């Protein structure tokens, strides 16, 4: 992809040694005219273009959005939702995973073009197929008790040393935990109350210091 440029540019460099005056000056900082935001100042060459549909090395951080297509089929996504709701069920006011977008996050995660996510993709998709093989029918059509039984069986296999079951359990659970507890609902459930600008920082309250014994 860069071969042509590579060879050309070194030749051009040799030619340029004859010294030319400053031809291109970016006035963004020298003068008053501010260049636009990240997007308008992006390099045009394709080197940084996310050919694999990743967000690239210079995404607009103030308008975050995913750049890759989601890949779970409706049936897979429904199965993920059923399982996620067993891992993180509704308990009183604490909502179930599917109520805070966990299935959508699992889809976002396993559809991403990056190595960690692609590794999780095979573990999770293969795991779904393996689970369904042990189920009395498609996961998304099982009765709640049947899905719970399926997860209980998965857990027993994992605890008993079935490595494939353990890996699926671990990765599926981790992606669900991240998907759940990074939402504002999840953050509140964990008791994270930061992000509050303040003129001073008082440190932990006395009751916490007492609990810590410091």
Partner 1 sequence: MAAEPFDVIVVGSGAAGGTAAYALTRAGARVCLLEAGRSYDPQRETPMFERTAVAPLRDAGTPDKPFGFYDATVDGGWVLPEEPFATAPGTEFRWFRARMLGGRTNHWGRVALRYADHDLKAFSRDGFGADWPFNYGEFSPWYDQAERLVGVFGSNPGLPDQPDSPPGCLQPPPVPRSFERLIMAGGRRLGRPVVASHTAVITRPINGRQACFYATPCLRGCSIGANFQSPTVLLPSARATGRLTTITHAQAYEIELARDGKARGVHYLDRRTNAHHFVAGRAVLLGASAMESVRMLFNSRSTAFPDGIGAESGWLGRGIMDSTGSNVWGQFPQMEGLPPFNDDGVWLPHVYIPWWAWPEQRAGKLPFTRGYHLELYGGRLEPSADTFDFFDTVSPFSYGARLKQEAQRYYGSFVRLSQRGEMIAREYNRVQIDPVLRDAWGIPSLRFDVRWSEQELHQTAHAQQSMAEFIEAAGGKLVAPLPKDPAHAILPPGRIIHEVGGARSGADPRKSVTNSFGRIWGVPNLYVIDGAVFPSSAHKNPTLTIVAFTLRACDHIQREMRHG
Residues 108-127 that bind partner 1 (CB under 8 A): 108-109, 112, 114-117
Q: Which is nearer to partner 1, 140 or 185 (CB)?
A: 185
**DSSP conformation class of 62:** T
Beta bridge partners of 47: none
Asked if residue 129 binds partner 1 (CB under 8 A), the reply is: no
**Whole-angstrom distance between the N-terminal and C-terminal Cα of the chain?**
60
H or E element, residue 10:
helix 3-16
User: In the bound complex, what is the minimum distance in angstroms from residue 34's beta carbon to partner 1?
Assistant: 7
Asked if residue 199 binds partner 1 (CB under 8 A), the reply is: yes
b or e along 157-186 (b: 16 or more beta carbons within 10 Å of the residue's beta carbon)? bbeeeeeebbbbbebbeebbeebbbebeeb
Asked if residue 8 binds partner 1 (CB under 8 A), the reply is: yes
Q: Which is nearer to partner 1, 127 or 179 (CB)?
A: 179
User: In the bound complex, what is the minimum distance in angstroms from residue 65's beta carbon to partner 1?
Assistant: 7
Among 75, 89, 130, 153, binds partner 1 (CB under 8 A): 89
Cβ neighbourhood burial of 57 (10 Å; 0-12, 13-18, 19+)? exposed
The footprint of partner 1 on residues 155-194 (CB under 8 A) is 155, 158-159, 166, 169-170, 173-174, 177-179, 181-184, 186-187, 189-194
Residues contacting 189, CB < 8 A, separation 6+: 94, 181
d(CA 12, CA 163): 56
Are 181 and 190 in contact by the 8 Å Cβ rule? The answer is yes
d(CA 134, CA 116): 27
User: In the bound complex, what is the minimum distance in angstroms from residue 18's beta carbon to partner 1?
Assistant: 9
Q: Which is nearer to partner 1, 91 or 129 (CB)?
A: 91
Asked if residue 10 binds partner 1 (CB under 8 A), the reply is: yes
Size of the site for partner 1 (CB under 8 A): 106
Asked if residue 210 binds partner 1 (CB under 8 A), the reply is: no
Asked if residue 87 binds partner 1 (CB under 8 A), the reply is: yes
For 64, phi then psi, to 5°, come to -65, 135
The footprint of partner 1 on residues 18-57 (CB under 8 A) is 19-31, 34-35, 37-38, 41-45, 47-48, 50, 54-57
Among 49, 66, 80, 149, binds partner 1 (CB under 8 A): 66
């Amino acid at each position: 992809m860069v071969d042509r440029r590579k060879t050309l540019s070194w030749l051009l460099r040799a030619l340029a040694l004859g010294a030319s005056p400053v031809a291109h000056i970016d006035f963004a900082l020298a003068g008053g005219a501010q260049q636009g935001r990240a997007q308008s100042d992006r390099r045009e060459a394709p080197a940084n273009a996310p050919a694999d549909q990743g967000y690239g090395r210079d995404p607009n951080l103030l308008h975050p959005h995913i750049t890759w297509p989601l890949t779970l089929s409706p049936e897979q996504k429904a199965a993920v939702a059923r399982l996620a709701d067993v891992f993180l069920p509704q308990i009183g006011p604490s909502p179930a995973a599917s109520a805070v977008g966990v299935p959508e996050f699992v889809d976002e995660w396993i559809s991403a073009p990056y190595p960690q996510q692609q590794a999780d993709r095979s573990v999770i998709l293969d795991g779904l197929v393996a689970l369904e093989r042990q189920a009395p029918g498609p996961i998304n059509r099982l009765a709640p008790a049947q899905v719970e039984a399926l997860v209980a069986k998965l857990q027993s296999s994992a605890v008993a040393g079935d490595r494939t079951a353990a890996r699926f359990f671990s990765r599926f659970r981790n992606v669900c935990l991240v998907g759940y507890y990074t939402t504002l609902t999840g953050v509140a459930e964990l008791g994270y109350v930061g992000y509050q600008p303040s003129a001073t920082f008082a440190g932990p309250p006395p009751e916490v210091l007492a609990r810590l014994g410091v």
